[in-house]
Amino acid sequence: MKLPLAIASLVVFAVHGVVFYDQFFHKWERYQTAYFDQVRTQTKSDAERNEMNGRSPRIEQIIVTSFGDSRVDRCTTCHIASDDPRFAGHAQPLKTHPYLKELGDVQRNGVWERRHKFNDFGCTVCHEGQGRGLSEHYAHGEDHYWPEPLLGYVTQEPWRKDLLPGLKGKEYMQAACAQCHSEENFAQTPVLNRGRQLFFESNCYGCHRIEGMSDGVLGPELSEAGKKFKIDYLTESIVDPRAGMASSFMPKFNLSPADVKALVIFLKSRRGVNLTETSLSVFRSRLHDAASVSDTKPVAPGAADVVARGKQLVEDRACAACHKIGDKDGGIAPDLSFEALMKDNEWLVDHFKNPRGRMPDSIMPAFKFAVADFEAMTAYLATLKTPPALGAPADTYKALCARCHGDKGDGAGPVALYIDPSPRDLTKVAFMNSKPRDRFVASIQKGVHGTSMPAWEKVLNEQQIQALLDHVESTFVKEKRRELKARKVPEKNPVASAKDSIARGEQTFLARCTGCHGRKADGKGPNSLDMLPHPRNLRNHPFVASLSDQRLLESILYGVQGTAMPPWVDYGLSQREAGDLVNYIRSLTQASARPQLRAGR
Amino acid sequence: MSANTKVTPRENVWRDLPRNLWSSIFRHPLPSSELGQAQTSFTNFFLHIHPVKVNRHTLKATYTFGLGLISLFLFIALTVSGVLLMFYYVPSTTQAYDRMLDLRGSVAFGTFLRNMHRWGAHAMVAAVFLHMCRVFLTGSYKKPREFNWVLGVVLFLLTMFSSFTGYLLPWDQLAFWAITVGTAIAGYAPFVGDKIKFLMLGDTQVGQEALLRFYVLHVVVLPMVMTLMIALHFWRIRKDGGLSRPPEADIAPGTEAMSVQVIASPAPKQSFGLMGIVRGPFTKVGNVPENTVSAWPHLLMAELLVFVLTIAVLLVVSLLFHAPLEEPVNVMHPPNPAKAPWYFLGLQELVSYSAFWGGVGIPGIEVLLLILAPYLERKPGGTGRWFAKERLLPNTLFVTFAVVNIILIIIGTLFRGPNWEFVLPW
């Protein structure tokens, strides 16, 4: 028993020894002693020499109260020479902080004077890092958990070595400058200004909201991006948007490393509240400029060539970041290469002004460009009339259909993820064989309203369409068409649309339909996630308006084969109830169509 | 001055002062005889909790593994380090995290104290659990020790609750979300769940009120209640005749079994006073050849060894591993997954299947079964031996429950990733 007791006691003593050593022999004490020694040997004044003789190492700290929450900066404990001009040539940590004209430092009679005095500003206001730390690891914010590592010097997670060199550099500190110098185009923060410019040039603002700057709703709000995210995360999100979230539909923009850095610095400067603002001043300014700012330079009307200007605008504003135009392909949105053959000018202008007015589930941001710009861009798109060269039906399918419907016809083309309602799965035999061929021909010729299916009649003639359908049937459907059962569905809704009919329809809808179509009838009911194709958004007014009563009644009473929509006659739904439902559904779109159309004008 | 003249020449006040002082504090010299050892144990406040004599079986390391003592010493280490930490801690949402940074950066021994307190707390939960396993698997809760088992179960729950309340105090992301998850589990109780949660948090979510409540519970209420319970726990051990042991352990090797009968002689009426009331087989009546040794030095040395070993391990672990301190609390940014402290991850895992059964039903039933165990298992025999054959059924049931809980904790800790989906830890 005595041996283990002795060993254990020894361990206890040994650990005490180590802990006490750590406690009483700090690195920073050595730095301070070295500083005192150097000053003693260099100084010419006896007073200073005596002062240094009397000094022993101690924790130095600056308490900063003027900039946001009060900070305790103990950085000068190690960097004790930071304000001593004699140490300009020394190595860190005993190095003088440089005097820089850009920072507003001035030289008077050969003596530099700082604009940002350390006693007022501390260190972390500009450099970030953890002011309270006394060891390099914690103070510089190398600790994985510290949200604000030293800007431009320390990165915590070298998870992608290729990004690492871009994450270092003094420029990153401009994000901290902007915490007080928030005015646009502040001359001392050129990289940040470039980032702000890029935020508009690269269409970031179309999707992302930053308070007081942009109103995009498609992407995450970035008003406080600088507070929430570290520069490594911001950089990765721009360079490779899907690295962090596989379901992100943010396009991968082709930006130069310098531009990425500028954007990151701009985003890092977005922290909601500014260090010089109080919540009261923010509230006041919000009251005053409630009107949102349009940061795009309007093109002067009457310029020489509207089409050329439109082309310029389409290129400048990076439409091809999402769309395909000629050789450029963003891989997100439909092909615009021969847009004039599919859409008329009115549709295009409407769609520019309010993308959801014509296609209620479009993900295209509503850009706040000048109307003249929209018209110029439309004028340019209206010149894209060259039909694509077409060959055999299989090649036609590849060239025109596969982008949405997929090479395998399963509705999973490269852009299908971004298209809502999703492209039809042409391999679903039950659906394909339950609809008359005429309907498919009509869908191809005229398009499907309220969806991304355009009208192909100016690209394909009747013969080509028939050949294409044959190709689809033989390659994807693969089953012989059966005789369609004749169903007794009245052509016109037998129930007249009236208040009580709509009210009855609403009750039936709430009882039977909300599980899939949702309480708002927007197709997002609780069961909808597991269903492919997703339930229809019944508030899609162009789509609903394009349907005849007969087709709506048929879909309700006899179901839609190949989808989750069941034949409701089997569940005891009477024709009168179906009629009430049709009236209810139509009442929804009539109510919702009006404000959206007004927004589009 | 007149008093001085009365001093006999043989006594010198100043020369004898140290000796007088010493002997006034310690009434006996270091004991050399059995009588001296007994007297020392009996008169010293700190030693009187010990019996004068202790059964050899009690000292067998492989019987108890010193788990109860380890729990006690960890409790003491936690109290000492905790009190020192209290000098620096402020239970305020605006200051707590900064105080943590100060403890880590500039307070003398701050990091080390925090490490000791953190790892000690985890170790204590584990040690108390293992102690409970030991007591069950050796059948030690049988008559007359039923209620002491109940006290033990309550102490186990108090230990977990102490650890849980302490978890919030650093006020970092880990603390905030672990307590958010942990108190949400309490909220799944039927009818009163929301009320219990509100009572614990003083609010609908974790905030300043919760921090203050958890602080007061952690540093005042729970330690005091636990101290009282520990005193009761020890008192009962003494009154129940020391640690449990098999009946044959009371017979010294080589003596006749018949000597046991002497114990059964009626208690004397007058001369032994209180001693006559003491029940059980350990009554010091008659010259019974017991299988015992003096508590001084045998028991004391054993305790010292356990103490030094516990402290040594705690110190080494605290030197090598730093207590985590994550980001400052960000209410808008929950980590994914947000996990409760590890000893509640079994519950969280169950909660992921069913909120009520995982959070309230199953743990409630388990605690109830634990408390009732000595009243349900009434068959005598099997006490004082590990995995006694007579107790095959209860032992099997207990081991099954324990292993299932441990497996659930392991799954919850290592195999659960974002959205509580199954992931491999490697």
Chain segment A165-181, per-residue pLDDT in tens: 888 889 999 999 999 88
B211 close to A (CB below 8 A) = no
Contacts of A145 in chain B (CB under 8 A): 172-173, 324-327
Chain segment B52-68, per-residue pLDDT in tens: 888 888 888 899 999 99
User: How close A167 comes to chain B (CA, Å)?
Assistant: 21
CATH superfamily of A393-477: Cytochrome c-like domain (1.10.760.10)
Fold adopted by A306-381: Cytochrome Bc1 Complex; Chain D, domain 2 (1.10.760)
Domain extent listing, chain A: 26-106+114-138, 182-288, 306-381, 393-477, 499-600
Q: How many CB pairs under 8 A join A and B?
A: 65
- pLDDT band at residue B7, thresholds of 50, 70 and 90? low
Q: What is the CA radius of gyration of chain B?
A: 26
Domain A182-288 of CATH type 3.30.70.260: no
Mean pLDDT of chain A: 85
Instruction: Tell me whether residue B25 is in a domain.
Output: no
Measured CA to CA, the distance from residue A536 to residue A544 in angstroms comes to 10
CB contact under 8 A, B308 and A15: no
Q: In what helix (H) or strand (E) does residue A512 lie, and over which residues does it extend?
A: helix A499-512
Q: What is the mean pLDDT of residues B128-152?
A: 94
When mean pLDDT is compared over A281-290, A386-395, B400-409, the highest value belongs to B400-409
Measured CA to CA, the distance from residue A73 to residue A148 in angstroms comes to 14
CB contact under 8 A, B315 and A139: no
CATH code (residue B128): 1.20.810.10
Domain A499-600 of CATH type 1.10.3720.10: no
Q: What is the mean pLDDT of residues A215-232?
A: 86
Q: A475 is written with which tokens? A: 């390659």
Looking at the partner chain, which of A5, A138, A147 has a beta carbon nearest the beta carbon of B104?
A: A138
Instruction: Tell me whether residue B281 is in a domain.
Output: no
Q: Is the dihedral of CA A236, A240, A245, A248 positive or negative?
A: positive
Measured CA to CA, the distance from residue B116 to residue B81 in angstroms comes to 7
Looking at the partner chain, which of A9, A19, A147 has a beta carbon nearest the beta carbon of B308?
A: A9
CB contact under 8 A, A11 and B101: no
CB contact under 8 A, A132 and B325: no
Q: Is the dihedral of CA B341, B108, A123, A34 positive or negative?
A: negative
Q: Structural domain tally of chain B? A: 1
Q: What is the mean pLDDT of residues A510-532?
A: 86
Contacts of A139 in chain B (CB under 8 A): 105
CB contact under 8 A, A8 and B104: no
Looking at the partner chain, which of A5, A23, A146 has a beta carbon nearest the beta carbon of B108?
A: A23
Q: In the 3-class helix/strand/coil scheme, how is B247-301 assigned residue by residue?
A: HHHHECCCCCHHHHHHHCCCCCCCCCHHHHHCCCCCCCCCCCCECEEEHHHHHHH
pLDDT at B115: 95
- The whole domain housing B346 covers 54-243+289-420
CB contact under 8 A, A23 and B302: no
Contacts of A16 (CB under 8 A, 6+ apart): B315
Length in residues, chain B: 426
Instruction: Tell me whether residue B20 is in a domain.
Output: no
Which residues of chain A approach chain B closer than 8 Å at the C-beta?
1, 4-5, 8-9, 11-12, 15-16, 18-19, 23, 59, 72, 74, 130, 132-135, 138-139, 145-147, 228
Chain segment A416-469, per-residue pLDDT in tens: 878 888 899 999 888 888 888 889 999 999 999 889 999 998 888 888 899 999
Q: Do domains A182-288 and A499-600 have the same CATH topology?
A: no
- pLDDT band at residue A579, thresholds of 50, 70 and 90? very high
Looking at the partner chain, which of A1, A19, A134 has a beta carbon nearest the beta carbon of B109?
A: A19
Contacts of A130 in chain B (CB under 8 A): 101
- pLDDT band at residue B258, thresholds of 50, 70 and 90? very low
Chain segment A95-121, per-residue pLDDT in tens: 999 999 888 899 888 889 999 999 999
CB contact under 8 A, B319 and A139: no
pLDDT at A600: 36
User: How close A73 comes to chain B (CA, Å)?
Assistant: 11
Q: Is the pLDDT of residue B152 over 90?
A: yes
**Minimum Cα–Cα distance from B312: chain A residue:** A12
- pLDDT band at residue A588, thresholds of 50, 70 and 90? confident
CB contact under 8 A, A146 and B98: no
Contacts of A19 in chain B (CB under 8 A): 109, 112, 319
Measured CA to CA, the distance from residue A544 to residue A592 in angstroms comes to 12
Looking at the partner chain, which of B102, B106, B112 has a beta carbon nearest the beta carbon of A19?
A: B112
Q: Is the pLDDT of residue B171 over 90?
A: yes
Examine residue A298 and say whether the peptide bond preceding it is cis (omega within 30 degrees of 0).
Answer: no
* C-beta separation of B358 from B350 below 8 A: yes
Residues of chain B numbered 2-61 and touching chain A (CB < 8 Å): none
Measured CA to CA, the distance from residue B211 to residue A444 in angstroms comes to 65
Looking at the partner chain, which of B98, B109, B308 has a beta carbon nearest the beta carbon of A5?
A: B308
Q: Is the pLDDT of residue A403 over 60?
A: yes
Measured CA to CA, the distance from residue A196 to residue A411 in angstroms comes to 39
Q: Is the pLDDT of residue B48 over 90?
A: no
Contacts of A16 in chain B (CB under 8 A): 315
pLDDT at A245: 75
Least confident of A146-150, A587-591, B71-75: A587-591
pLDDT at B9: 63
Q: Is the pLDDT of residue B24 over 60?
A: yes
- pLDDT band at residue A371, thresholds of 50, 70 and 90? confident
Bridge partner residues of A325 (DSSP)? A328
Nearest to B341 by CA among B195, B198, B214: B214
Chain segment A26-72, per-residue pLDDT in tens: 899 999 999 999 999 888 888 888 888 888 899 999 999 888 888 99
CB contact under 8 A, A5 and B304: yes
Measured CA to CA, the distance from residue B247 to residue A87 in angstroms comes to 81
Contacts of A135 in chain B (CB under 8 A): 105
- Helix (H) and strand (E) counts in chain A: 27, 8
Q: What is the mean pLDDT of residues B342-356?
A: 87
CB contact under 8 A, A9 and B312: yes
Q: Is the pLDDT of residue B76 over 90?
A: yes
pLDDT at B41: 78
Instruction: Tell me whether residue B1 is in a domain.
Output: no
CB contact under 8 A, A12 and B312: yes
Nearest to A374 by CA among A348, A343, A356, A337: A348
**Minimum Cα–Cα distance from A28: chain B residue:** B106
Chain segment B389-412, per-residue pLDDT in tens: 889 999 999 999 999 999 999 999
Q: What is the mean pLDDT of residues B305-325?
A: 94
User: How close B235 comes to chain A (CA, Å)?
Assistant: 28
CB contact under 8 A, B105 and A74: yes
Mean pLDDT of chain B: 86
Looking at the partner chain, which of A5, A59, A146 has a beta carbon nearest the beta carbon of B106?
A: A59
CB contact under 8 A, B98 and A132: yes
B95 close to A (CB below 8 A) = no
CB contact under 8 A, B106 and A74: yes
Report the share of chain B in percent with pLDDT over 90. 50
Measured CA to CA, the distance from residue B368 to residue B362 in angstroms comes to 10
CB contact under 8 A, B101 and A132: yes
Nearest to A430 by CA among A256, A245, A559, A577: A559
Q: Note the ipTM here.
A: 0.80
Q: In what helix (H) or strand (E) does residue A13 lie, and over which residues does it extend?
A: helix A2-24
Q: Is the pLDDT of residue B212 over 60?
A: yes
Q: What is the mean pLDDT of residues A223-229?
A: 88
Q: In what helix (H) or strand (E) does residue B76 lie, and over which residues does it extend?
A: helix B67-86
Tokens 């009750």 sit on residue: A507
**Minimum Cα–Cα distance from B318: chain A residue:** A15
* C-beta separation of A170 from A123 below 8 A: no
User: How close B17 comes to chain A (CA, Å)?
Assistant: 33
**Minimum Cα–Cα distance from A147: chain B residue:** B327
pLDDT at A289: 58
Least confident of A177-186, A192-201, A523-532: A523-532
Measured CA to CA, the distance from residue A145 to residue A336 in angstroms comes to 47
